[in-house]
Amino acid sequence: MNQKALHTLEYDKIIEQLTECATSDPGRRKCRELLPMTEVSRIRKALTETGDAIARIFRNGSTSFGSNREFSGTWKALTIGAALDMKTLLSLADFLDNVKRVKAYGSSAGSRENAGGAPAEAVVSDSLTDYFHGLEPLPQVSREIRRCIISEDEMADDASPALKKIRREIGLTGEKVHDQLDRIVKGSAREYLQDAVITLRGDRYCVPVRAEHKSQISGIVHDQSSSGSTLFIEPAAVVELNNRLRELALEERAEIEEILRGLTAMAGEHVTAFSDNAVIMTELDFIFAKASLALSQNAVIPVFNEAHCFDIRKGRHPLIDKKKVVPIDVMSGRDYDMLIITGPNTGGKTVTLKTVGLLTLMGQAGLAIPAGDRSELSVFREIYADIGDEQSIEQSLSTFSSHMTNTVQILREADEDCLCIFDELGAGTDPTEGAALAVAILEYLHTRGIRTLATTHYSELKVYALTTPGVQNASCEFDVETLSPTYRLLIGIPGKSNAFAISQKLGLSQEIIESARAHIGQDEKRFEDLLADLETSRRTIEREQATIEAYKHEMEKLKAVYTAKQTKIDASREDILRQAHEEARDILRQAKTEADETIRAIRKSGDGVTLRELESIRTGMQQKISEKNEKLSAKEKNKQPQSTHRKLKPEDLHIGDSVRIVSMGLVGTVNSKPDKSGNLFVMCGIIRTKARIDDLVPVAEESAADQMKKFYGYGKKHEMDLTKAMHVRTEINLIGRNVEDALAELDKYLDDAYVAHLGSVRIVHGKGSGTLRRAVQEHLRTVPYVKSYKQAEYGEGDSGVTIATFAK
């Protein structure tokens, strides 16, 4: 892909944004080297990886590859057997720990799918699975390095038995030296000393002796003060001990070098695994950087074809503010292969050209594009773009000359596998000659089947597009009333420059405008009037279509509501019938049990049973039935709303009328007329029940459907507030903020991270005075869903980072 087009279409700025999304130096280097591809198989593979990375971020959040570095020199040293220093070995341990975290992140991709009880083998597999499986954390190497090395300049005492023995002897010998020197400093020699202190000079323990008393303390002079009044003498009593300390220091250094050689040899056995890990980590960092860029741009994965057809839906220029950019729909290659865009200046013509060119470059580079779903792109061998004013005083090139130079080169190199983009083709010279040249150039490209987009103000090109098969007009809409562009691209409609209308709105006198109109030829005037009529008709049709769409949308909503209600009614009916059958079965079972017990009691009593005993048995059964009715009545009262029916009068009731006993929830027929107290009998099935008239309502006054609606509350609005899970990083950086601002930002971040189901997060607060660290840790104690927190280990940030773990 030619560098001029990449620069003209601002592809390099997209690469800068992509580079910022990578988390490691090798990943950033790979991002900077990304160029558009021309093999459709490679493009589709890259887009599939980008899409799978986006899906993983949605499921599990993002991850970091920050411990991956440029290890090429380290691998070479391991290959030739050169010993590595402690800093390099620690960086390898950090790298392996990072590999372990990334591998765990990759294997957790299906954990949420398995949470519902699915089999463990149902883990999601995608195009990135092999990358994660290829990582080897080498935990034994990492553990051994961290066991032996505490920091970049400190080896652990337990790194080897020999080192531990040497350091123990160093400690004992040092104590002996201090004991000897303490006796000198605190004894009779105190009067000869400048100060009662013990000091070091060249790794030798000395005492400061006044120059005039140097003969009073025998030993070796190692230094003197700048004034010469003090000599630093190593007393003879500790010379041998100091010599031993020196020997032990050399032994310690030699043992440390031996340990480093052993650690290096152990790492060298896995140099291939180290190298493979670095390659995979770099590739994954690059892929997830593309995914992060896509999320920041709200981009989608386009569909690619090899037919040189593109259909960009709701495409947005990625370098324009998302809140201000107006999406456009643009297509070419099927019904037509050339698109000529007209319209006023600042109407969005050039932005349209750049959007098409830049999105095509991004897609061919394996990047998601900021557009709508099902947007389609094609593979082009080259994209040529002549956009902007490139006049050069040094090369004596005018605007027209610079454009024509570019055009000549494009015509010489372009073929049917290329996409050509021209801004203001033929501009910068005599309009008549410029229009003729523009038509000839477009005709040449059209004849060769080269996909072309061009902008122009020339009416001749509008006519050419109207009269030539395979060439289509388009325009950028302009609102004359507000004197501002809408930036909408209208395909199939040629645009107007609107020079007269704009001039009139800006205050140019009507006399001058009418004079200008008189200078326009009749053919051109009729053509402009035709365009104006087409524009008016288009606006009318669009308004009518918008109204129709609104009605259609409303009908769909009503249909969905009706379907949902009907589904709920059907489901509720099934539940009611099932529950009724179950209750009936229980009642029958209980009735059978009571009947069996009664029969057994009668048989047991034999012929000697009295009427009083039988009445007692009947009364007991009636009491149990009443208790059951009271329970049903209580349930009915809880379920049904307060009755709003009018009160019945005695004359309203007739024997055989269907009524409902409100307090009991039973339906029956009137069996007797009410007495003076308003009491009457109602037959509910085989049971004759006594009820009051003010507790009855006629059944006919309320249909079954109305009862169903009241019972289940149909017609009420039920709303649910759904919030979208945002991409939340696993780390927050609070360095540079004061405590109040940092805690406010941390509180919101913890809420987002917990809602996003992150297991743990890293809180970077820096070391400094420790005030921010203490405030953060004190705040974590008060957060109910934070299970625990701890200071990061060496290599993860030490005391400058706190790791918080959420409760499950």
Smallest Cα–Cα separation from 372: which of 292, 315, 295? 315
Residue 677: predicted pLDDT: 85
DSSP 416: T
Residue 571: predicted pLDDT: 79
Residue 467: predicted pLDDT: 87
The CA distance from 314 to 316, in Å, is 6
> For tokens 């009295």, what's the residue?
610
* Buried/exposed 33-70: b ≥16 CB within 10 Å, e otherwise: ebebbeeeeebbebbebbbbbbebbebbbbbbbbbbbe
Three-state secondary-structure class, residue 44? helix
Q: Is 305 exposed, middle or buried (0-12, 13-18, 19+ CB in 10 A)?
A: middle
Residue 86: predicted pLDDT: 93
DSSP 550: H
Q: Which two tokens stand for residue 803?
A: 């790791």
Residue 629: predicted pLDDT: 57
* Nearest-5° Cα angle at 789, 786 to 791: 160
Would you state the torsion angle of the CA atoms of residues 759, 760, 761, 763, taken in this order, to the nearest 10 degrees?
Answer: 160
Residues of the chain below pLDDT 50:
110-122, 391-396, 640-643, 701-705, 707-726
Sheet holding 328-332, edge to edge: 303-305, 376-378, 310-315, 328-332
Sheet holding 731-733, edge to edge: 731-733, 760-764, 801-806, 786-791
Report pLDDT digits (tens) over 439-459.
Answer: 999 999 999 999 999 998 888
* Nearest-5° Cα angle at 323, 322 to 324: 95
Q: Which two tokens stand for residue 412?
A: 């010489």
Does pTM surpass 0.85?
A: no
Three-state secondary-structure class, residue 447? helix
Residue 590: predicted pLDDT: 75
Residue 489: predicted pLDDT: 83
Three-state secondary-structure class, residue 528? helix
Q: Is 796 exposed, middle or buried (0-12, 13-18, 19+ CB in 10 A)?
A: middle
Residue 121: predicted pLDDT: 43
Residue 130: predicted pLDDT: 93
The CA distance from 728 to 62, in Å, is 7
Q: Give bridge partners of residue 786 from the DSSP assignment.
A: 806
The CA distance from 400 to 13, in Å, is 28
The CA distance from 724 to 745, in Å, is 19
Q: What string of H, E and C letters represents the secondary structure of 753-770?
A: HHHCCCCEEEEECCCCCC
